[in-house]
Structure 1
């Protein structure tokens, strides 16, 4: 597979070779087998079939049914009231794709054969998998195998395969052994909670049968009692030269049923077998058998071509409404389509089965459904396949009674509390601090209901299911919060866990409170609509739920009085009441959220190495929490507050969850961090294609896949829903020429195309529609295109009266070169001299790239134009030579070389009681300060010799803050380089830029020179 996944995992290598409608491989790497089985899996919401080979055995292969799971007891040494007693665990069902190939009396084994040619293609447009393999067997015989596969979206649980064997030089008997294997065990999933902790137990077999007409195998899950029947049937294509492929024998014993078919092969001849595998779960044994027989009969009548055509039609309908395009980046276009395809095929679509975090592509997370479904996957489906979004919500309605039961377990007398992780509706988490305490799941489901209603205007759903879910879940909030007299009667919510699982059991988690406020208002609106429009239904519902106007009024008061913690000194929203009081995580979190080439190839979450209490005692976030709230429910919040909150929480977030990057990317784009928006988008775009978290083996990441689509539409497209109307604020990443996407909205289909020239909106079908572009209302009529210029997000748009300055501050941390004195020309002369000596071109433009960069990194930039590479030892010698030239250049420096105003500023800061630190990329900083006569003004000096990672890494600023004994948020950084500004923000500090505002546009304030820095403008007493 070396050619298949390369260039950071991008399929097919070179950009020009990428087909944006296909995921293709041209070689096979055994060590990546499990990952590829996830990537090339097919599913239809009920059945999932991993991408293993029909003729080969793989311990990581498998097939799954959404409706089939095992129930395992949870064992505690101390089980207290309300603890979950059991957990659901997805288990593999009978594997039906197997077709063994025998040449004469020897089975063809791929691990013993020489692979002459291999290619595999997942056709995203048609929803089909196609594979060709040309081999020379251990006996020297050359054959070609072709396998085509579909799992039709239009069928409940059916797999269709067309399997062909062509002889290249073999002459003799060919036997195809088509089988169903029922002995697969659930994977022992170990201690990684991202995978699961149960497993090891498979389905029990209680029925086997095989004859010339077909084969059947029945299984039972001992814990849950679920029974499933799996059967196979075959067809020989009419008119194919395989008419003499005939049935030989059938076997049914142990854990397997088989049917054997034989034909004579000769060079140039092809033998083809069509195989159909069906699964039936519900009903008694006789009913299952009847349904199995009927399904297989219909499948054989349609044939592989008929089922493949049905699948292509279903995908054509989907893509007509969900089409997207990227101008100038075929790899990203392919990845977005790949992600959206997996969302469509693994999302629950029958209103009965849920949508698991890993879809139907593997056993990761034990097949559990989380809040990811409503917060990430459902929005993508609501705008592309609303009928699927509705079915996803109907699954939650089906499990509402279980949610009521869970609420009683948690001592709530009324209402419903949806579980953190589940398959069949009950709480499956043994760790309640990060499980049942995550009450925000109720709010996420309410968010999904609200978004679906907005996008579909499906008021029948509100009547039939949505309102009841909103009411029952809303009832929980007054039971976990109260109107707090210590906070002037604000409604406070206690002892809950937000999305950040590295901080649990807190009061007033900002995300939870914000989403609860939205939830309560949505429930009140639903009550009012039903009371006015469908009063009879409202009376019936109120009587059954014992719901009255007084309770509704309580919800309204709680929403209006909701406490939303905000730190005025920092100008940011507090994650919870105690988060900002904790020390920061002492080890570098930035290495985990950095987006440069030095990032480790293995992303290892902190939770695998540290006790939860260790994490809980620090400011460290697993994933977006406050940032998540600002994306999902932040429309009425000033951009400046969003930006400051983004900067602060980015510095303490590890992104150990794949849910984090897409949310950070969306907010980064909104607040003007275009480069970060792009990098975070790419992190979610290729989570599985590049296996960024090293666990795609266990299934794809549904939420991250949805997050990449949201990153395109909500991030770059700026889509928000406000007051039941679509609002757009598009921008174009530097890497693209443009992009486009389709949306479904209230029975209409909308096309949006964005380029640097502007955004074009076309209402492709449906009635007239009012949308908003950059705050301007736009009336669309069918078929007419309207183009508007893109709005630019300027600095003034994120500044308002509640500015970051002045602010309480205990320390100032300065860069040296370009801030306190000018050594830039001395550096330039030294580098220029070295470059001339080694015959490497160097000019002022290249020199500009060296600002804020340490010596070794600067040398690497200069050597980019070298004719030949330099060894590490040679580079060290060159760096030392340059340093000698620089030291000679600054030999004559003295106090007269300080910038005007520096000495006065340092004295004023000292008089105000501020601590002073220096963070310089130069190893010569201490010597230079002595020459300038200000070394004694600083409480701590850090240079490149004291740190491991240079700017834009925040290590040097965090080191200075730690040595000063001042929390980073109580420091102000002063820099003249863009890399330095990034480092300051990553350290959680506000940044003052000295120099060109166009270069330093990410700074919180930009001054022309240090003399313009008046302490009273930036530091409050």
Structure 2
């Protein structure tokens, strides 16, 4: 059972807690309480093992293909968290004996995981256990653990095994060659792993500091080694009121780390460096290292983002802090060769691959709140141009066709070919998204556009952005198909954001965003021609842009864009959606588990029903409103309302990405109660009472969406072409909201109260803000009276 009200004092609304242990429902706590720092993610499995556990240590960028017929994925590294504990010679487990006052909790503020409980053995002996753990934000290679065991009533024989266990796999697939193992000085344990296909070396080193009643434990441990496993065994006797404290410090380094990614790389150098680093910190102890870690979180995260709300429901604030915590630990801010996985670094789901989730649902948080990190994530996409160009060429197109699923930037398309069972045929279903879900290419173009307009980062555009925009436009120009009968270009045989509709023609989202991509390329070409001809000349030499511009212009002017129906202003999701048969969807709208419709219908049958997996037309309306084209094809408030009212009842939200978009649009059109309800539902995808919703990992895009609903929805912050717009409409029970965003390189401190919007900034520049149709020019301080629309 999860609880969120156990935080007291300075930790009020900071604590995510599990207060009941269940060996059959381990996945949720392991996922939502996972620890990380962007370099690595450590799933929060318990120290003692259980049958249904999932132990994952994932390091960003270490992709490997286990077998020729499988796609590349983040490999599950050796486990360092398992500790085999024996009490009086019997394996310790919470499945035996009696457990009282069990609490496992993640402190979001300090990013430390703790677990405490009292346990009575089957023989009636009472002990107190306390476990602590963190993955350092101060030293991205460090994992620190602490175990305390106190005998309360009688003497006990206590023993435990702890080390490095490489007998791990990814759901059965083994990614590593058998590596070297060694124990130095009966204290420092080393294990080397090397991926079988990508040849990435991993150096894991660990050491223990043992104390009994505050004094260093002097007895030497037993050294043990077996296949892919090396560990130390400790034995001792605890008298009543005596306490064992064991500290375990582990470091992880890989040959993918920038300091080792050199042509003269040698494994021996990695091994030596990693071992020496562990030795250098081994004397500092858990408490000192934790203090450094906590300081990094306070300075670099909580004070930096400065988000706070005054709500009658304290859960709202905790949910937003939960989002910022996870956005921090999922993001490889240290390395622009790496992206964000759909399950972050919390589990093996989606194999660590990056989707459009990043650009549309996660990147906006960083674009507005931490532009340097946003820039790194976009540079990851720039480095993926080689793979995108290869995919376009393999499919008979020009330019850059971005992969639906991306791993190492040059890998290209890594989407699996086969997926779930077809309930009609019993066969595996074919996964078409890697072949025909192509809107990701324009999604990335939109992300570049959004980043540039928010940050004014000319250097990024000159080095990376313009080339990405131009070559993605080249793809769309080659992708369009001429319809001779209608004398216009179509985009046929695609999957839009609504993945319940495969092989459709003229998906509205895909067509409009392709049009945006083409028009954006034209706009930037003309702008460079006027103000930066040197950059244009260099890009023209590489991409032959003179010929491209004419092609973009011709294709864009004749591209079919689905228009609203006259009778109700509904934009057709695709050529056939509005003609499909309707069924009663209430069963699936109220389901506890997503994708319940697959239990009754095959993919082919779902394709013929007026049902939507996730926001499609609605996300188009949300994104289009932020572009420089919003006045070319006018999307009115009435149109937003009509499409929301039509599509929301047909949308099952079977993708965690969907709820945030619906919540933002609901707020835009004055449905504030529905907006908050959808926001709450989005937070409960991971934090809710369903104990199995996060078994494969957290829902990274939904977590980004939690922040987006608060800032873009309730606070009304939005890119309005090149201008910052703030139209707040807070939930009724929110009295105040405070946060920091960056605009044109300047931090702005925004406070929304019941009566006003206050914007403060440390700048001498005159800035413009639009609020409820009125434009304000200001410098330093601005107070805007609030329009009360809720």
Normalising by structure 2, report the TM-score. 0.89
What secondary structure is seen at the aligned counterpart in 2 of 1:183?
coil
- In structure 1, the residue matched to 2:786 is 789
Q: What RMSD in Å do the two structures reach over aligned CA positions? A: 2.9
What secondary structure is seen at the aligned counterpart in 1 of 2:741?
strand
Q: Offset of 1:388 from its aligned partner?
A: 2.1
What secondary structure is seen at the aligned counterpart in 2 of 1:139?
coil
Alignment map for 1:430-449 (pairs within 5 Å): 430=417, 431=430, 433-449=432-448
Change (3 A) 1:310 1:408: farther
Q: Is 2:151 the counterpart of 1:164?
A: no
Rounded to whole Å, the distance in 2 between the matches of 1:625 and 1:72 is 35
Q: Offset of 1:287 from its aligned partner?
A: 2.9
- In structure 2, the residue matched to 1:506 is 504
Rounded to whole Å, the distance in 2 between the matches of 1:789 and 1:479 is 48
Farther off after superposition, 509-518 or 390-399: 390-399
Whether the 8 Å contact between 1:210 and 1:252 is mirrored in structure 2 is no
- In structure 1, the residue matched to 2:356 is 371
Alignment gaps of 5+ in structure 2: 256-264, 418-429
Whether the 8 Å contact between 2:614 and 2:651 is mirrored in structure 1 is yes
Deviations 1:310-350, CA, capped at 9 Å, x for gaps? 32233222222322324212011101211221111012322
Q: Offset of 1:173 from its aligned partner?
A: 5.5
- In structure 1, the residue matched to 2:427 is none
- In structure 2, the residue matched to 1:466 is 465
- In structure 2, the residue matched to 1:244 is 217
Whether the 8 Å contact between 1:716 and 1:731 is mirrored in structure 2 is yes
Whether the 8 Å contact between 2:164 and 2:229 is mirrored in structure 1 is yes
Q: Is 2:369 the counterpart of 1:384?
A: yes
Change (3 A) 1:533 1:43: farther
Rounded to whole Å, the distance in 2 between the matches of 1:100 and 1:627 is 52
Count of matched residue pairs: 753
Whether the 8 Å contact between 2:183 and 2:189 is mirrored in structure 1 is yes
What secondary structure is seen at the aligned counterpart in 2 of 1:164?
strand
- In structure 2, the residue matched to 1:290 is 272
Larger Rg: 1
Find 2:194's aligned residue among 220, 225, 244.
220
Q: Is 2:416 the counterpart of 1:429?
A: yes
- In structure 1, the residue matched to 2:260 is none
What secondary structure is seen at the aligned counterpart in 1 of 2:282?
helix
Farther off after superposition, 442-451 or 527-536: 527-536
Find 2:34's aligned residue among 30, 34, 41.
41
Change (3 A) 1:14 1:117: closer
What secondary structure is seen at the aligned counterpart in 2 of 1:165?
strand
Alignment map for 1:91-106 (pairs within 5 Å): 91-103=75-87, 105-106=89-90
Alignment gaps of 5+ in structure 1: 6-10, 76-85, 188-198, 594-598, 794-1021
What secondary structure is seen at the aligned counterpart in 2 of 1:396?
helix
Rounded to whole Å, the distance in 1 between the matches of 2:464 and 2:106 is 37
Q: Offset of 1:374 from its aligned partner?
A: 0.7
Deviations 1:281-322, CA, capped at 9 Å, x for gaps? 215431331232133234325543343233223322222232
What secondary structure is seen at the aligned counterpart in 1 of 2:105?
strand
Find 1:409's aligned residue among 394, 401, 404.
394
Change (3 A) 1:748 1:148: farther
Rounded to whole Å, the distance in 1 between the matches of 2:753 and 2:779 is 22
Q: Offset of 1:378 from its aligned partner?
A: 0.7
Q: Offset of 1:721 from its aligned partner?
A: 0.2
Q: Is 2:576 the counterpart of 1:602?
A: no
Normalising by structure 1, report the TM-score. 0.69
Q: Offset of 1:607 from its aligned partner?
A: 3.8
Q: Is 2:652 the counterpart of 1:631?
A: no
Rounded to whole Å, the distance in 2 between the matches of 1:298 and 1:516 is 54
Whether the 8 Å contact between 1:87 and 1:422 is mirrored in structure 2 is no
Whether the 8 Å contact between 2:386 and 2:412 is mirrored in structure 1 is no
Deviations 1:204-258, CA, capped at 9 Å, x for gaps? 4332222413112223333444442322123468x98222354322212123211
What secondary structure is seen at the aligned counterpart in 2 of 1:688?
helix
- In structure 2, the residue matched to 1:589 is 585
Q: Offset of 1:260 from its aligned partner?
A: 3.2
Rounded to whole Å, the distance in 1 between the matches of 2:371 and 2:388 is 24
Q: Offset of 1:421 from its aligned partner?
A: 1.8
- In structure 1, the residue matched to 2:700 is 702
Deviations 1:620-664, CA, capped at 9 Å, x for gaps? 211111011001113531111111111111232222111111111
Whether the 8 Å contact between 2:142 and 2:252 is mirrored in structure 1 is yes
Find 2:303's aligned residue among 300, 307, 320.
320
Find 2:98's aligned residue among 99, 114, 117.
114
- In structure 1, the residue matched to 2:110 is 126
Rounded to whole Å, the distance in 1 between the matches of 2:137 and 2:192 is 24
Change (3 A) 1:72 1:207: closer
- In structure 2, the residue matched to 1:999 is none
Q: Is 2:543 the counterpart of 1:546?
A: yes
- In structure 1, the residue matched to 2:605 is 614
Rounded to whole Å, the distance in 1 between the matches of 2:10 and 2:20 is 15
- In structure 1, the residue matched to 2:336 is 351
- In structure 1, the residue matched to 2:345 is 360
Q: Offset of 1:72 from its aligned partner?
A: 5.2
Q: Is 2:295 the counterpart of 1:304?
A: no
The structure with higher relative contact order (CA 8 Å, sep 6+) is 2
Q: Is 2:231 the counterpart of 1:258?
A: yes
What secondary structure is seen at the aligned counterpart in 2 of 1:734?
coil
Rounded to whole Å, the distance in 2 between the matches of 1:634 and 1:539 is 32
- In structure 2, the residue matched to 1:481 is 480
Change (3 A) 1:72 1:175: closer
What secondary structure is seen at the aligned counterpart in 2 of 1:206?
coil
Whether the 8 Å contact between 1:15 and 1:331 is mirrored in structure 2 is no
Farther off after superposition, 303-312 or 442-451: 303-312
Change (3 A) 1:103 1:506: closer
Change (3 A) 1:530 1:263: farther
Whether the 8 Å contact between 1:756 and 1:790 is mirrored in structure 2 is no
Find 1:229's aligned residue among 175, 198, 203.
203
Change (3 A) 1:746 1:509: same
Change (3 A) 1:583 1:166: same
Rounded to whole Å, the distance in 1 between the matches of 2:297 and 2:766 is 27
Q: Offset of 1:472 from its aligned partner?
A: 2.1
What secondary structure is seen at the aligned counterpart in 2 of 1:111?
coil
Rounded to whole Å, the distance in 1 between the matches of 2:764 and 2:58 is 39
Q: Offset of 1:443 from its aligned partner?
A: 1.0
Change (3 A) 1:530 1:277: farther
Change (3 A) 1:319 1:24: same
Q: Is 2:216 the counterpart of 1:270?
A: no
Deviations 1:499-528, CA, capped at 9 Å, x for gaps? 011112222211012212222333334444
- In structure 2, the residue matched to 1:906 is none
Deviations 1:833-889, CA, capped at 9 Å, x for gaps? xxxxxxxxxxxxxxxxxxxxxxxxxxxxxxxxxxxxxxxxxxxxxxxxxxxxxxxxx
Rounded to whole Å, the distance in 1 between the matches of 2:664 and 2:9 is 29
- In structure 1, the residue matched to 2:420 is none
Whether the 8 Å contact between 1:47 and 1:65 is mirrored in structure 2 is yes
Whether the 8 Å contact between 2:210 and 2:244 is mirrored in structure 1 is no
Whether the 8 Å contact between 1:96 and 1:180 is mirrored in structure 2 is yes
- In structure 2, the residue matched to 1:891 is none
Whether the 8 Å contact between 2:619 and 2:661 is mirrored in structure 1 is yes
Whether the 8 Å contact between 2:103 and 2:115 is mirrored in structure 1 is yes
Rounded to whole Å, the distance in 1 between the matches of 2:660 and 2:548 is 37
Rounded to whole Å, the distance in 2 between the matches of 1:381 and 1:16 is 30
What secondary structure is seen at the aligned counterpart in 2 of 1:229?
strand
